[in-house]
Amino acid sequence: MDTLFALQEQILSDVSKIERYLLSEIDWTNRLIAIKGARGSGKTTILLQYIKYRLPKKTTPLYVSLDNLYFLNNTLVSLVEDFVLHGGTHLFLDEVHKYPQWSRELKLVYDQFPNLKTVFTSSSMLEIYKGESDLSRRAVSYHLKELSFREFVLFTHGHDLPKVKLKDLLTDHVKIARQVKKTMPSPIKDFKNYLNYGSYPYFLDNQDSYLQKLTRTINLILEVDVNAVENIPYLESRKIKKLLVAIAQSVPFTPNISKLSERLGISREFLLNSIKLLNRADLVMELFKPTKGVGAFTKPEKLYLNNTNLILALSADSADVGAMRETFFANQMKNLYEIHLAEKGDFLIDRKYTFEIGGKGKSTKQLKGTKDSYVVRDDMEVGAMNVIPLYLFGLLY
């Protein structure tokens, strides 16, 4: 265990102070906390920042990744027994989906060590309530989204733009846009950069190789994480990768399940399961109309890639500006608000607000007679009435 403490000190020595939005939203008093999110979104950094900058001094924390070689000869439960015996108070476990008996041993830890607080991270694919042991009454789960436009500006320029709720944005968007303009004179320029390379924090390392690194991350999700979570062999993961590329080449994608399964040489059941898996992996977004029931084998009416950076990484040559705009809007809403395809317009949010997404010349005619409807325009800094600049929806978290 001394080796693990030494490794923790080494890792903590170089932790950024710029915090993701979720760090302040987690109730850290809970005994068992799960943080899920896509690979590369910053889950590990949240753990390390909490340990270094927020954890009270009269505590003894330990951070450890469960893919550490230590666990080839030791169990998680044995580590916790030793840790608590020596005064350990807070345990931070990274990559639990890499540990075969994660749910059973976490349940044992929770039940046997009532004074220990445990936080664990996992792939967004992991369904923590469907593991070998039920954690539904024990774990409080949070989902870490990719960087918002607001966070991208904070990371690149240090400008702390206001975080706004959707209702406030719809009523006060002119005032909010003017406040943004006072802080940063060229929000559109930064917004375009965000669409190209701003979804994952590792753009700070090297912008030139960002898409190349993102492509490697996609491969790791499909070849490593999928196997760890769902035990899908490599050849099957290759078929899922082909499906992802097929979606990327024509987003927003309206799937014809019969034709697609024939084209890719996979069964209808495997295809629908793969789409659900890609959605859980935060690689695609499934969208339905609000009147349609959503079941395990329900075909989505439209598929988007999960963010605009994925479009550029997987299909830069065929990237469509309209798809980029719609993908950005849907991504910023995902996991924050209920999102459906609209009967009129593009998106229906919380079964109340209708949005039509477009460029600078997008008209309001299509939404005429639709209650609580808004036109969202790209390439404009300040809107008016029910016309709102697209970039402002990047301030929601």
Query: How many domains are contained in the chain?
Result: 2
pLDDT (0 to 100) of residue 292: 63
Residue among 178, 200, 198 nearest 190 (CA): 198
The length of the chain in residues reads: 397
**Shared domain check, 112 and 213:** no
Residue among 249, 253, 251 nearest 317 (CA): 249
CATH number of the domain enclosing 123: 3.40.50.300
Give the bridge partners for 143, in sequence order: 36
296 touches 276 (CB < 8 A) = yes
pLDDT (0 to 100) of residue 78: 97
pLDDT tens readout for residues 12-54: 999 999 999 999 999 999 999 999 999 999 999 999 999 999 9
pLDDT (0 to 100) of residue 293: 63
**Arithmetic mean of pLDDT over the chain:** 93
pLDDT (0 to 100) of residue 295: 57
84, 114, 144 — which closes off a domain? 144
Say which amino acid occupies 318: S
**Shared domain check, 163 and 128:** no
Position of tokens 């006072």?
182
**Shared domain check, 186 and 127:** no
Residue among 123, 131, 80 nearest 103 (CA): 131
Residues of the chain with confidence (pLDDT) below 50: none
Q: How far apart are CA 221 and CA 215, in angstroms?
A: 10
92, 109, 144 — which closes off a domain? 144
Q: Domain containing 135: what range?
A: 2-144
**Shared domain check, 287 and 329:** yes
Q: Which helix (H) or strand (E) holds 65?
A: strand 61-65
260 touches 275 (CB < 8 A) = no
pLDDT (0 to 100) of residue 388: 98
